[in-house]
Amino acid sequence: MMRFDGKTALVTGGGSGIGQCISVQLAREGAYIVVVDLNETAAKLTLNEISANGGKGEILVCDISNNSDVTETVSDILKNRAIDILINNAGIAHIGNIENTTEADLDRVYSVNVKGIYNMLSVIIPTMKIRRHGVIINMASVASSVGIADRFAYSMSKGAVLTMTYSVAKDYIDYGIRCNSVAPARVHTPFVDNFLAKNYPDNSAEMFDKLSQSQPIGRMGKATEVASAVAYLCSDDAAFITGINFPIDGGFVTLNN
């Protein structure tokens, strides 16, 4: 299917994991991809994979937490092409409750997971508004809706992602802009493998199984499964869908009781 032929999608955090899979999926369906990442090497690897599959795109090295950096670099892109699809995927994690979350920890998570989305929205929504067309997908989490132990800062940020989604969907529905979020549970990415290797070097396989079983479906999600859901929500097949939080969680939120 070429559901995105002639359209441009900007994907933050597109250099690895879920963001990379989303970039490749949308490119496979015809979109021109702007891969945004702070890690230039990672962004180039994603672009290489896109090119190897016959797709087209470019990379944008940008610190999404820095408003002036986002304004300057994204404005340069907008001089040459309109952004039809914005995927606010970039984010960072933090483990800890209120007692072991420092002010610096909270500020760091906020600056990327919340302010980073604000920065992208503030630059791109006005251009979508003028064109009366656009699709925005924000990366929320199961932590947006239910309590997760030792995720104080992370849950704070993902709760904000969810409510920003609702607000944007409401404010811009009359301008032809659709805004939704997706809410994955645990997804098997290199981040998970690195986390286990660092924190559980002696029993990483055991911990992997434990984390997998926390989803009622009995396994972690796949990044490609998230990418497929995102592609659907970005497409005209989902033209009647806006202001929702789409769970991709193996039953985590509704069946874990």
**pLDDT tens across 246-255, in order?**
999 999 999 9
What is the three-class DSSP state of 4?
A: coil
- What's the pLDDT at 256? 84
The verdict on 178 and 136 lying in the same domain is yes
- What's the pLDDT at 257? 65
37-61 confidence digits (pLDDT tens): 999 999 999 999 999 999 999 999 9
Residue percentage of the chain with pLDDT more than 90: 94
The verdict on 205 and 235 lying in the same domain is no
The domain tally of the chain equals 2
Domain extent, residue 74, equals: 8-185+222-245
List of the chain residues with pLDDT < 50: none
The verdict on 84 and 210 lying in the same domain is no
Q: Using the CB atoms, write b or e for 190-211: b if 16+ within 10 Å.
A: eebeebbeeeeeeebeeebeeb
Rounded Cα distance between 65 and 183, Å, is 21
What is the three-class DSSP state of 246?
A: strand
- Listed in sequence order, the residues at least 6 apart from 48 whose beta carbon sits closer than 8 Å to its beta carbon are none
Judge contact between 249 and 215, C-beta under 8 A: yes
Question: Which residue among the candidates 32, 110, 154, 232 is catalytic per the annotation?
Answer: 154
The verdict on 18 and 63 lying in the same domain is yes
Q: Is 118 among the catalytic positions? A: no
The verdict on 51 and 148 lying in the same domain is yes
- What's the pLDDT at 145? 95
Q: Is residue 257 part of a domain?
A: no
The verdict on 237 and 151 lying in the same domain is yes
Q: Which of 16, 10, 94 is nearest to 59 (CA)?
A: 10
